[in-house]
């Protein structure tokens, strides 16, 4: 599972509802990344699991780029993709996998990372790039209240504080990566761009996995089966579905799909992993999702409208 790329470059054509079979399929595939992560960290060190995932994903995306005879991008574009990979893959998923390894549930991990649109909106406001109206401030408050409901749920054991800290580090990486990509986006091909991002994350995490975890993993089907799912279905399939949605004019509307992910992940975690699902957690997930939707929907619409007026060669993504 990777953080969603900036999506303002889609054509300003009338948008279809993202709640289609493709959209719902995308939500399910994307949410399985949290479940797969929970399974692989049970069989390996968190950082080691990520090195496996990003290293194999690099090979897959590179093979796709070679098969399509993608033209080599500029060095600047490659460097921007590499930095995006360090933030949105290495830092974000380093935090997520460590949080899962230290006791966070898949649903809580999805909830924390799902708050990324709120953090990006606040950062844009603090930097003077966005104005937040009453609806946005209300959404921020409701989203924060939802997080507090989940944090306050002590049933079936509280999530350890080290796990919360790791997830917040992951949230910072996802948010910084999104802001960086919006500011330094390029027209780099998706396949070579993702290969570069995954390679950069692998290079950054490999020394840490060796030094901290001795590159520990169990060479068993319990490790390689979910790893294969993460690489082939979650990474490749998830991005394929995402860009099908964008290509069909759902660029700004597709952001609404990410608001479904915390409750969907929590429900899947309950069924697949046996994670306890309480009424308080459900209320918190619903509250947080509604808050994010309320705070970001008008902002996304304005961004899409304004981006359609900009010259295409500026590289805004």
Tens digit of each residue's pLDDT (9 = 90 or more) over 125-153: 776 666 667 877 787 778 778 777 776 66
Residue 239 CA to residue 4 CA, distance in Å, equals: 9
Residue 254 CA to residue 19 CA, distance in Å, equals: 9
pLDDT of residue 131: 67
The confidence band for 183, taking pLDDT boundaries of 50, 70 and 90, is: confident
Residue 11 CA to residue 105 CA, distance in Å, equals: 38
Beta bridge partners of 44: 217
**Residue 23 backbone dihedrals phi, psi, to 5 degrees:** -65, -45
Report CA-CA distances (Å) from 82 to 90, 171, 177, 317: 10, 19, 11, 16
pLDDT of residue 198: 94
Q: Quick one: tokens of 277? A: 């699902």
Residue 153 CA to residue 166 CA, distance in Å, equals: 19
pLDDT of residue 314: 35
Considering only residues 56 and 294, tell me which one the structure prediction assigns the higher pLDDT: 56
pLDDT of residue 157: 56
Helices then strands, counting H and E runs in the chain, come out as: 13, 0
The confidence band for 184, taking pLDDT boundaries of 50, 70 and 90, is: confident
Q: Quick one: tokens of 164? A: 């919360």
pLDDT of residue 56: 96
pLDDT of residue 155: 43
In this predicted structure, the answer to whether residue 289 has a pLDDT above a threshold of 80 is no
Residue 85 CA to residue 274 CA, distance in Å, equals: 32
Give the three-class secondary structure for 67: helix
Q: Quick one: tokens of 31? A: 């949410």
CA neighbor of 304 nearest in space, from 295, 292, 293, 316: 316
SS (H, E, C) 189-237: CHHHHHHHHHHHHHHHHHHHHHHHHCCCECCCHHHHHHHHHHHHHHHHH
Considering only residues 126 and 69, tell me which one the structure prediction assigns the higher pLDDT: 69
> 224-235 as b/e, with b when 16 or more CB fall inside 10 Å?
eebbebbbeebb
The confidence band for 247, taking pLDDT boundaries of 50, 70 and 90, is: low
CA neighbor of 300 nearest in space, from 10, 22, 88, 28: 10
Give me the mean pLDDT over the 240-261 stretch.
63
pLDDT of residue 11: 43
Give me the mean pLDDT over the 279-306 stretch.
67
The single-letter DSSP state of residue 271 is I
Sequence-ordered list of residues with C-beta below 8 angstroms from that of 288, at least 6 positions apart, any chain: 111, 114, 115, 142, 143, 146, 147, 150, 262
In this predicted structure, the answer to whether residue 246 has a pLDDT above a threshold of 50 is yes
List pLDDT tens digits, range 70-108.
Answer: 888 889 989 999 999 999 899 999 999 999 999 888 888
State the CB neighbour count (10 A cutoff) for residue 238: 23
Residue 127 CA to residue 125 CA, distance in Å, equals: 5
In this predicted structure, the answer to whether residue 213 has a pLDDT above a threshold of 90 is yes
Instruction: Name the range with the highest mean pLDDT among 229-233, 299-303, 305-309.
Output: 229-233
pLDDT of residue 254: 57
Q: Where are the beta strands (DSSP E) in the chain?
A: none
Residue 193 CA to residue 17 CA, distance in Å, equals: 28
Is residue 244 a contact partner of residue 16, using CB atoms and an 8 Å limit?
Answer: no
Quickly tell me which residue has 């929970």 as its tokens: 38
pTM confidence score: 0.75
């Amino acid at each position: 599972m990777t953080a969603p790329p900036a999506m303002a470059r889609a054509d300003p054509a009338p948008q279809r509802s993202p709640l289609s079979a493709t959209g719902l399929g995308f939500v399910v595939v994307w949410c399985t990344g949290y479940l797969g992560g929970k399974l692989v960290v049970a069989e390996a060190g968190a950082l080691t699991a990520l090195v496996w995932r990003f290293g194999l994903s690099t090979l897959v995306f590179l093979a796709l780029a070679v098969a399509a005879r993608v033209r080599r991008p500029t060095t600047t574009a490659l460097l921007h993709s590499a930095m995006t990979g360090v933030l949105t893959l290495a830092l974000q998923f380093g935090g997520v996998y460590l949080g899962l390894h230290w006791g966070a549930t898949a649903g809580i991990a999805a909830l924390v990372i799902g708050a990324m649109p709120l953090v990006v909106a606040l950062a844009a406001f603090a930097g003077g790039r966005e104005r937040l109206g009453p609806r946005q401030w209300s959404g921020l408050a409701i989203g924060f209240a939802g997080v507090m409901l989940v944090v306050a749920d002590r049933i079936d054991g509280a999530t350890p504080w080290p796990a919360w800290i790791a997830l917040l580090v992951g949230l910072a990486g996802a948010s910084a990566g999104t802001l960086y990509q919006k500011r330094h986006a390029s027209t780099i091909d998706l396949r070579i761009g993702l290969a570069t991002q995954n390679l950069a994350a692998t290079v950054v995490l490999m020394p840490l996995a060796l030094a901290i975890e001795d590159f520990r993993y169990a060479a068993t089907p319990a490790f390689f089966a979910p790893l294969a799912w993460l690489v082939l279905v979650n990474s490749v399939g998830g991005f394929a579905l995402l860009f099908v949605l964008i290509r069909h004019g759902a660029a700004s509307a597709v952001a609404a799909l990410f608001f479904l992910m915390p409750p969907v992940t929590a429900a899947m975690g309950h069924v697949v992993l046996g994670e306890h699902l309480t009424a308080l957690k459900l209320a918190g997930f619903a509250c947080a999702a509604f808050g994010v939707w309320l705070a970001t929907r008008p902002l996304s619409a304005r961004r899409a409208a304004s981006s359609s007026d900009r010259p295409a060669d500026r590289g805004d993504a």
